[in-house]
Structure formats: C-alpha cells, structure tokens
Amino acid sequence: MTQLQSLRGMVDLLPEAMQRWQAVEDAARRLFQRSGFLEIRTPLLETTELFCRGIGEATDVVGKEMYSFSDRGDRSCTLRPEGTASVVRAALQHGLLSQGPQRLWYSGPMFRYERPQAGRQRQFHQIGVEWLGADSPRSDVEVIALGWDLLASLGVGGLELELNSLGSPEDRIAYREALVRWLEQRADQLDDDSRQRLQVNPLRILDSKNKATQALLDEAPTLADALSDASRRRFDEVQQGLDTLGIPFRINPRLVRGLDYYGHTAFEITSDQLGAQATVCGGGRYNGLVSQLGGPATPAIGWALGMERLILVLEAASEADPQGPAARLTTRQVPDAFLVNRGESAERLALALARSLRQAELAVELDGSGSAFGKQFKRADRSGARWALVIGEEEAERSEVRLKPLHGDGEPITLKLADLEGLITLLRR
C-alpha cells in the first residue's frame, strides 16, 4: 500500500520545531499584552468576496494564488490568504469599532497557491497586529516600533527598516497616470508579466523581480514626486518619530507592498541573517479598507511577519551567536527531572509522583516503557534533565525515591516519598 504524504507546500511542524515556534509566539504575546494589543481569532475559511473586495481583484493574490471553491450551499469560499481583511470583517460584524479604537493581534495559518521554497509554503503562518481607528503619524511610529522591538528582542541581527509613502488616493491616481504614460513609451522594454500589469495594476511593476525591468525603473517617476504637501508633511512626521526612537530607516521609493488597500506609510523590516536581505515583517496604513468592506471611514495600520521565514532567520542567528537570545529560543527545552521506574508497585508510585510534581509546575518526564534500568538511564541522559528520579522495587518497598545527578559531580540522594516539599525544593535549586 502506498504511504500517504502531505500535500505539496503543506508542511508538518514536528515537536522539536514546535518548541521554537512556541517560544516566538510566547515572546510576541508578552510584548503585545504590554502594549495593549488584544488577541483575536478569525476563521480559516471566509467568503471569496471578502478578499476580492479587500485585497483587490487585480492583485496576484486574488488573481492567481487563492484556494477558492464552492461549498455545498454553492457559496464561493476561500482559505484566508492573509489576516487583515478577516480582522476588519470581524470588527465590523461584531460592532467593535463602535467601542472606540481597537488594538488587535492574531496568529495562525494562511494559504496561497504558489511555488514552495525555503521560508515560503502554500500553508504558511503569520503573526500580525492591526490598530483600527488610529490616524496620527505617531501611531504609525508605534506600530513600526512594535515590530522592530519584537525582532530585536528575539535576537534577529542585521535589521533594516525600509520606508515609503504611498500617499493619499488622489496622490496615487496622479502618480499612476504619470507612471503609465512613462511606461507605455517603453512597453517594449518591459518583461511579459509587467506588460500585463501595465493596464491592470501598474504600481505592482515597481515590485518586479525582473532585473531588466528594475534597471529601466531607475529612471521612472517616483511616488515621492506625486505626493501632496499634506502627504509630505505626514511622511516627515513619521520619519521624525522614528528618529526620536532611534530606529534607523532607509527610504525605498519602490516599496509599494502587494495588496491594494495600502496608502500613506508602507514599510518592510529586513534582515541579512540569511546572507542577502530578506523581508521578515511588512505592513502599512490602510485607511480605505474598512469602508471598502462596508464599514464607516476608519483609519488603520498594521503589519504581519511570516513565521517560516522568521524561524530560518533565528536558526541562522543562533549559529552566528551560540550564546545569544536567538540561540536560547531555538534550544530544546529540557525537563527538570526524568523519572526512571520499573516494577508493578514502583510504576504506580512513579505515576502518582510525576503527577504531584507536575502540579507543582515542575517539568517531569516519566518513562513508561517498563524496560531495563540501563535503557531508561540512557533516555534520561538524552533528555537533558539535571536529575534522574529512581523508583525500583526496593525504593517502592521503603516508600522512597532516589535522586541521581545526571550531569556533573554529586552523590545520589534518597528522600521519603512523603517529603514532597523537600523534593520540590531540591529540584528547583
């Protein structure tokens, strides 16, 4: 019988990897809580219309990459390709915006049908923040700083913030007209993909990966040339705020992001930890999205980071600095004790002892194999625990537990099983 395999681009997260993921998620959760952001969880499956209206039908995500199908009620459904539209939909559906500005964060799987590669799968995972109802340039700075500080605290090295302003809708209309006129005169020099985008979504040409097109764009008009005075002042305030916080940045006039709902501030945080600069976090302001989805005009800003890419970056960072914070995150967690036991009476006592120690918030691995002590001690050594707790038939008869140090010098210690407090104190040293 043929062995079943996971679908291409759908990757299993095995226990060793999950410890790293959980460490990152815990660090993010603590930072968000300190910053007043509350967690929201939305369904994996949404109506296709949500993403067509929110992301934009002319984007690659909607046009080429979504997992969409009709359900038994003949409704077009889509596995969510990103988190922002779902968060906004949920806020509107449940009346959250009537309660004032909402600081929200989320995590979970997203789905896009694209070619799998390192750090990018068809099922991928994001952590993101959305601040709905925030309008000031200072809120842009705070949200950017939140992403920067999270990555720095995790030990990601070589961070660089790239920044741009996409201006107001009026600015983008003016720029789009100027860019299209300029590109139409040079259409024969564009790659095939860019020629298709010229009439549908010309701003996405700025993000082309084709080297010849990128060289051509060096001479193209920039968004900065089309910004109104108000948009320029706003962008200046964002830059001043980042300077105040000591967060370095580089203006990238080609940074447009891939989704239609962005306007004004757009940004990406990259790292050179993998060699070349790789984006680990990106986002921006999306003041028009709430009204596009049927709500009142509401300013908003947010970002998302890709967990798969971030884990690769953290693994590289831990290799570069084995004593640094990234190495501590990627180090396998070890139990406080490994409980070796053999014999009918010993196994009953060991089960009860393990439960009591776990209720005292100690991590205890209980060997349930019933194999010879030699094999159990080998597993205890591999666990990394400081102590082996040993209960054999002799210890069971005397209602005792023997503590054997697994690393370094030290003599075995014997305690009565009734002296649970003494055992807990010893294990916590």
Put simply, whether the predicted model's pTM sits higher than 0.85 gets the answer: yes
Q: What is the pLDDT of residue 258?
A: 58
Residues 104-138: pLDDT tens digits? 999 999 999 989 988 889 999 999 999 999 999 99
Domain ranges for the chain: 15-168+228-328, 337-428
What radius of gyration, in Å, describes the C-alpha atoms of the chain? 27
Q: What is the pLDDT of residue 289?
A: 92
Residues 209-241: b if buried by 16+ CB within 10 A, e if exposed: eeeebeebbeebebbbebbeeebeebbeebbeb
* Residue recorded with tokens 């390709």: 81
Residues 78-101: pLDDT tens digits? 999 999 999 999 999 999 999 999
Spatial separation of the C-alpha atoms in residues 72 and 64, rounded to whole Å: 24
CATH classification code of 15-168+228-328: 3.30.930.10
pLDDT-derived band at 46, boundaries 50, 70, 90 = very high
pLDDT-derived band at 58, boundaries 50, 70, 90 = low
Q: DSSP secondary structure string, 141-192?
A: HHHHHHHHHHHHHHT--SEEEEEEE---HHHHHHHHHHHHHHHHTTGGGS-H
Sort strands 387-391 and 400-405 into parallel, antiparallel or unpaired.
antiparallel
Statement: residue 353 has pLDDT above 70: yes
The domain covering 337-428 belongs, at the CATH homologous superfamily level, to: Anticodon-binding domain (3.40.50.800)
Spatial separation of the C-alpha atoms in residues 263 and 168, rounded to whole Å: 6
Spatial separation of the C-alpha atoms in residues 144 and 282, rounded to whole Å: 9
Q: What is the pLDDT of residue 299?
A: 96
